Amino acid sequence: MSTVSRAAAIRVEDLWFAYPDGTEVLRGVALALEPGERVALLGPNGAGKTTLVLHLNGILTPSRGRVVVGETTVDDAHLREVRRRVGLVFQDADDQLFMPTVWRDVAFGPANFGVEGEELEHRVAAALQAVGAAHLAQRPPHHLSGGEKRRVAIATVLAMEPEVIVLDEPTSSLDPAGRRELADVLSRLTQTVLLVTHDLPFALELCPRSLILNHGRVVADGATWELLADAELMAANRLELPFGLDPTRARPPA
């Protein structure tokens, strides 16, 4: 069984997963995210990216292998703890926003964990401030723009004070201004971040490291600029850069 560094914020060890019809989606995935890293998870449609991230806080259970958060194995006995420590921001923000006001949406998670009074007020205010949405606190979520909903969805996770934040296609349906606002928010986060995205310029801007997943396996792991500059690797994994983007410009100085 493949095993990676025990110091990682999240470790995925020899992870296999098949759906009830027998279709294998993950085939021995092993990876590690170190504390404070921002890492992009790239790959074509059907590669298993969303299936993988749904294992990170126990929404799905592996057929074989395990996920470890710090030193805590993701299993039925630790789900409550794991779901506090690993926050998942879904692709569709409407899946996370269901209360009458933004404030109540952001308060929902910590309140369910017993946080109340001044501590709850502080958490909600801090989370909304972190994403630049304090002025939206009393607004109904369904009246917000796409970019505002995305930032509030992130705030609902931040209010839980997680160690790891996983975002699934966070730029989908955002206009350029919303995308820029989101990049500003994510660049300021101090938590470990895993960014699942088809938006390669966004990954290049925000994530020094990337993983490429294809056919249920991690096929590449390295500096984002270096992976995106490898034309053969990109073609083999159905990844394509926008015209004119030169990933080598993001190469750190020697």
Q: Which two tokens stand for residue 73?
A: 């194995």
**Strand runs labelled E in 10-116:** 10-18, 24-33, 38-42, 64-69, 72-73, 86-89
pLDDT confidence of 249, banded at 50, 70, 90?
Answer: confident
Global pTM reads 0.91
1 versus 222: which is more confidently predicted?
A: 222
Q: What is the pLDDT of residue 2?
A: 43
Domain ranges for the chain: 10-235
- Position 221 scores a pLDDT of 98
What's the rounded mean pLDDT across residues 2-20? 80
Separation of alpha carbons 81 and 7, rounded Å = 18
Coil/strand/helix, residue 194: strand
Q: What's the pLDDT score for residue 3?
A: 45
Return the CA Rg of the chain.
18
pLDDT digits (tens, 9 = 90+) for 179-198: 999 999 999 999 999 999 99
Instruction: Categorize the per-residue pLDDT at 4 as very low, low, confident or very high, splitting at 50, 70 and 90.
Output: very low
Q: Per residue in 12-52, pLDDT tens?
A: 999 999 988 888 999 999 999 999 999 999 999 999 999 99
What distance in Å separates the CA atoms of residue 68 and residue 185, rounded to the nearest whole number?
27
Backbone torsion region of residue 114, taken as left when φ is above 0, otherwise alpha when ψ lies between -120 and 50, otherwise beta:
left
**What integer pLDDT is reported at residue 254 of this predicted model?**
58
Round to whole Å and give the CA distance between 141 and 25: 34
Mean pLDDT (the chain) is: 93
Read off the amino acid at residue 222: G
- Provide, for the chain, the percentages of residues in helix, strand and coil under a 3-state DSSP scheme, each rounded to the nearest 5: 40, 25, 40
What are 39's two structure tokens? 């890492």
**What confidence tier does 251 reach under pLDDT thresholds 50, 70, 90?**
confident
What's the pLDDT score for residue 5? 43
- Region of residue 28 (phi > 0: left; psi between -120 and 50: alpha; otherwise: beta): left
Domain 10-235 top-level CATH class: alpha beta
Model confidence pLDDT, tens digit, residues 115-153: 999 999 999 999 999 999 999 999 999 999 999 999 999
Sort 78 into a burial class: Cβ within 10 Å, 0-12 / 13-18 / 19+: middle
187, 156 Cβ separation under 8 angstroms = no
Confidence of residue 243 (pLDDT cuts 50, 70, 90): confident
pLDDT, tens digit, 9 for 90 and up, residues 51-84: 999 999 999 999 999 999 999 999 999 999 999 9
pLDDT given at position 55? 96
